[in-house]
Structure 1
Amino acid sequence: MMRRPITLRRALLLLGAALALSACGKHDDSAAMTAAAALGPQSTAADPLARGRYLVKAADCAACHTTSDGAPFAGGVKLASPFGTFYGTNITPDKAHGIGNWSADDLYKALHDGVTPTKQLYPAMPYTSYRQLSRADSDAIYAYLMAQKPAAVPNHEPELSFPFNMRFGVRFWDWVFLKDAWPDASNQASAQGAAATGSADWYRGRYLASALGHCAECHTPRGKFGQLDGAKPLAGAALGRIAAPDITPHGLAARGWTAADLQTFFATGIAPQGSAFGEMFPVVHLSSQYMTHDDLRAMSTYLLGDQPPAPQPLQSLQSGSADAAQLEAGRNVYLAVCAGCHGINGEGKPHVAVPMHANSTLRQSDAHNLIVAMLDGLGAQDFPGLERMQEMPGFATQLSDEELAQLANYLRATWGGQPADVTTDAVKALR
């Protein structure tokens, strides 16, 4: 299927780059990061090119550097942001347009510091996370990329308005906000600014999720200058049209996730809590499905912690907590436009639509993603193996704001254990 242009998954508010700066200390967790680097993902093959290939998959490089109909790693993927449009660059070994003239040192500096032999990178390229990569893994990635077929595809310059088109401003932003490591939501010591302690799986998962997977770039909220908020690691953030959910241990447990469910989700894109959509779908499609079972287990351990909180059972709707007439109206809308695919009782249909019961989107305290899905719909999605979900149409033109609010409240109250508090104004604001 053709993928829509990717919303900038790592969009940074670069406004602060050229503004007054304040001192900002770096979080010193070098011992833990050294251990994490030593536990970095190991290819099952001794071949360094195979190792590099695995790392490129784990780092999800294709998401930004390969278009759906283009040559591998030739760039051109549109990355929309509030400040204009960025484009993924050509990272093939082509000498005119790619990285054919780069050394291994050059690639490491680009990944670690955001600086290439010719220019300062914008942090749309997540060197803010990749700087945690070990030198050995950077060199393996370099070896793999240099072994690819050169593609003579010119790069697109970013289409940014003033002052965001002034690259030198990024240097000031880096000076203030670029850090070597970030606190970990699943480790109490790290969250309090001390050196983290954890199991081998936890450290391995930290490296996979924080450095290679760069999960924080989407799931951590940002400050007014676009910097990651170290006080709220992985607590969820606005991400274009779709919001990246809270993936802290308590946030995941509140929506019923277990380590086994997370592993299944990363490997297949589907779990009892629902299927991947929005920006998470290409993560599974291009990256996590190719990772080893051990690495997926390690990532799940890192996200939930060595002592994960128990998944919260779905709370039944309390008597009197919702207007019965409104819920009945929502049920009527559901039966008219949703039950054909999701089932009269929300049981879902294999290879067609996911179940509604305990769906992770319905269990989110904020109904934002649910409303967007109802308005915009979801494209047909092919998952690993033979699994797929058919297209879900959007109902922006078919249903009124009131009907959509009624439907959202019925879904959340019936199968999400959430209050029926979605208003027509909330729907209208997202049209």
Structure 2
Amino acid sequence: MSHFPLRTPCGAALAAALTAVLLAACGDRSSSSSAMMPAAVAATSPEAASSVPGTPASAAAPRPHASAEVIARGRYLARAADCAACHTSADGAPFAGGVALKSPFGTFYGTNITPDPSHGIGKWSADEFYKALHDGISPDKPLYPAMPYTSYRQVSRADSDAIYAYLMSIKPAAVANRTPELSFPYNLRFGMRFWNMIFVKDTLPDASKGQSADWQRGRYLSNALGHCAECHTPRGTFGQLDGAKALGGAALGRVAAPDITPAGLAARGWTGKDLQTLFATGIAPQGSAFGEMYPVVHLSTQYLTRDDLRAMTIYLLGDQPPAAHALPPPGDTGSLTAGRNLYLAVCAGCHSADGTGKPHVAVAMLGNSTVRQGDPRNLIVAMLEGIEAQDFPGLERMQDMPGFDKRLNDAELAQLTNYLRVAWGGQPANVTPAAVKALR
């Protein structure tokens, strides 16, 4: 789930000439509360759902006679690709669609990718499935890049066939697809063909450097299957990925997918070991996965092998990873008495007065990646909306965090945010009441 946020117009003459057509081409996964994906979200993240249509007019494709081994491999790959995040609603049948994906251009809905012949992909052949992943073209119409074929284009044919075999082995669900709710001209699907000609690339740029086998494997898992770029890379005017800023963080509506370049991760204290722990368990010294990254862990990365998780972290940080920045020294909060008092009144009961958190209750503020992030919006939105209770692998969980949108006014939330950022994030006290108001 990722957004296609509008940005300043590009200067390409061709893009300017095709504006009316290309504007119809944009759309993408929703932001988080995700989220991201994204997760990852990638996911997403880390927030990507497709606008895969219902069925072509042809007869149902014969079920492939795939071996149990191929189907099991396809299930693993479907998890690595985080298909369920956008194609399985909270109360729906597996892969029957229905997940709402909001974007600046309207709302998309994750579609039915079960083998149902009327509403799903039961009439699709393996060739047609690969064409959808690789080219963004379904049997009867172009897809919107809400389905991240810009990343899936790198998925191998063998892996595509394995995912197809798995999806064709699951129980069909006769659930109709919802039509995307897009206003003119974004509802003109034919414009996608022009968009694809200009913006779809065979490979995505790398934010890290490496040549090792682990780096290469991690590149495939992160760039192709995991489609991390869809949430964590900024987008241009027409919704295209900005390759010059690969994985450098992107606005997802009210929240932001953070910078996951080697430098960005190191600045917030991430090591390869900590990243691998986060992907496997959802919890690390820097905090827990929330928003769009929670379903990425819950539905995808927790199921990956240790070797694959290690490869992903090597790719994200590079073969020669930068040293993680040490915890910032405690900031001078002498002038932030109001914020400190608010923290003691409404936060310390769970996060502890010294910011060290409580196991199975709340994460630490000390060393927290969101608190250390330069952009404060994720911290502000988390305090406004709260965070639902989270269940993680290994019987680990975090209690729900209440939202304070009704309890604290804009000035109070700004004071609290500034206290957290100065006390434990190494950030300045520059959040204003107006900034909080804009995120309500």
Question: TM-score, normalising length from structure 1?
Answer: 0.87
1:292-371 pair list within 5 angstroms: 292-317=305-330, 324-325=334-335, 327-371=336-380
Q: CA separation of 1:318/1:89 partners in 2, compared to 1, >3 Å: closer, same or farther? A: closer
1:113, distance to aligned residue in structure 2 (A): 0.3
Structure 2 counterpart of 1:138, which letter?
S
Residues 91 and 145, structure 1, Cα contact 8 Å, conserved in 2: yes
1:340 is paired with a residue of what secondary structure?
helix
The aligned residue for residue 38 of structure 1 is none
Aligned residue for 2:296? 283
User: In the alignment, which residue of structure 2 is the partner of 1:180?
Assistant: 202
CA offsets per residue over residues 331-354 of structure 1, 9 Å max, x none? 100000000110111111111100
1:19 Cα deviation (Å)?
A: 5.7
Say which of 241, 252, 258 aligns to 1:228.
241
2:393 is matched with which residue? 384
Give CA-to-partner distance per residue, 1:346-390, whole Å, 9 cap, x none: 111111100110100010011111111111111111111211111
Q: Which residue of 2 is the match for residue 122 of structure 1?
A: 144
> Is residue 134–residue 152 contact of structure 2 (8 Å, CA) maintained in 1?
yes
CA displacement at 1:268 relative to structure 2:
0.7
Q: Summarize the alignment of residues 80-159 of structure 1 with structure 2, pairs less than 5 Å apart.
A: 80-159=102-181
Aligned residues: 389
Change (3 A) 1:221 1:244: same
Question: 2:5, 2:418 → 1: CA distance?
Answer: 33
The DSSP-based 3-state class of the residue aligned with 1:231 is helix
Question: Which amino acid in the other structure matches residue 203 of structure 1?
Answer: Q
1:81-140 deviations in Å (ceiling 9; x for gaps): 121111111111111111111111000000000001111100000001000000000010
**Relative contact order (alpha carbons < 8 A, sep ≥ 6): 1 or 2 greater?**
2
1:215 is the counterpart of 2:228: yes
In the aligned structure 2, how far is the partner of 1:133 from the partner of 1:96?
27
Distance (Å, rounded) in 2 between the aligned partners of 1:77 and 1:401:
32
Structure 1 residue 67 corresponds to structure 2 residue 60: no
* Partner amino acid, structure 2, of 1:304: L
**Alpha-carbon distance in 2 for matches of 1:166, 1:284:** 35
Find the residue that maps to 2:108 and give its secondary structure.
Answer: strand
Letter in 2 for 1:354: V
Q: Does structure 2 conserve the Cα–Cα contact (< 8 Å) formed by 1:330 and 1:406?
A: yes
- CA–CA distance in 1 between the matches of 2:90 and 2:69? 28
Contact 1:52-1:142 at 8 Å conserved across structures: yes
Residue 277 of structure 1: CA displacement? Answer: 0.7
Q: CA deviation at 1:237?
A: 0.3
CA distance in 1, matches of 2:172, 2:253: 33
Q: Find the partner of 2:17 among 11, 15, 20.
A: 20
SS at match of 2:89: coil
Q: Secondary structure at the match of 2:101?
A: strand
Pick the aligned partner of 2:101 from 72, 79, 84: 79
Residue 262 of structure 1: CA displacement? 0.3
Shift of 1:314: 1.9
Paired residue type of 1:238: A
Say whether the 8 Å CA contact 2:232–2:259 is kept in structure 1.
yes
Letter in structure 1 aligned against 2:354:
N
**SS of the residue 1:418 aligns to:** coil
Counterpart of 1:64, as a letter, is: C
SS in 1 for 2:198: helix
How big is the shift at 1:74? Answer: 0.9
Matching residue's letter, 1:336 = A
1:10·1:125 contact (CA, 8 Å) conserved in 2? Answer: no
1:73/1:19 CA distance change after superposition, 3 Å: farther
Structure 2 length-normalised TM: 0.85
Aligned-partner residue type, residue 375 of structure 1: L
**Counterpart contact for 1:274–1:354, Cα < 8 Å:** yes
Equivalent in 410, 416, 419 of residue 425 of structure 2: 416
SS at match of 1:348: coil
Distance 1:314 1:235 in 2: 22
Alpha-carbon distance, 1:9 to partner: 2.0
Please say if 1:9 is aligned against 2:2: yes
CA 1:78–1:231 in structure 2 vs 1: closer, same or farther (change >3 Å)?
same
Quote the Cα distance in structure 2 between the aligned partners of 1:403 and 1:147: 54
**2:3/2:103 contact within 8 Å kept:** no
2:255 maps to a residue whose letter is I
Equivalent residue for 2:38? none
Whole-Å separation in 2 of the counterparts to 1:156 and 1:19: 32
Q: Contact 2:254/2:377 (CA < 8 Å) preserved in 1?
A: no
- Post-superposition shift, 1:272? 0.1
Task: For structure 1, list consecutive stretches of 5 or more residues without a partner in the other structure.
Answer: 1-7, 23-44, 188-196
| Aligned partner letter, 1:135 | R
Separation in structure 1 between the aligned mates of residue 265 and residue 331 of structure 2, nearest angstrom: 23
Deviates further, 406-415 or 198-207 = 406-415
Which runs of no fewer than 5 residues in structure 2 stay unpaired? 20-66
Distance in 1 (CA, whole Å) between partners of 2:238 and 2:354 is 46
Matched, 1:48 2:70: yes
Per the TM alignment, residue 46 of structure 1 is displaced from its structure 2 partner at its CA by 7.9
Deviation at 1:13, TM superposition (A): 5.8
Aligned-residue Cα RMSD (Å) equals 1.9
Q: 1:11 to 1:148 in 2, by over 3 A?
A: farther
1:25 aligned partner: none
User: How far off is 1:408 after superposition?
Assistant: 0.8
- Hey, what's the Cα distance between the residues in 1 that align with 2:97 and 2:392? 24
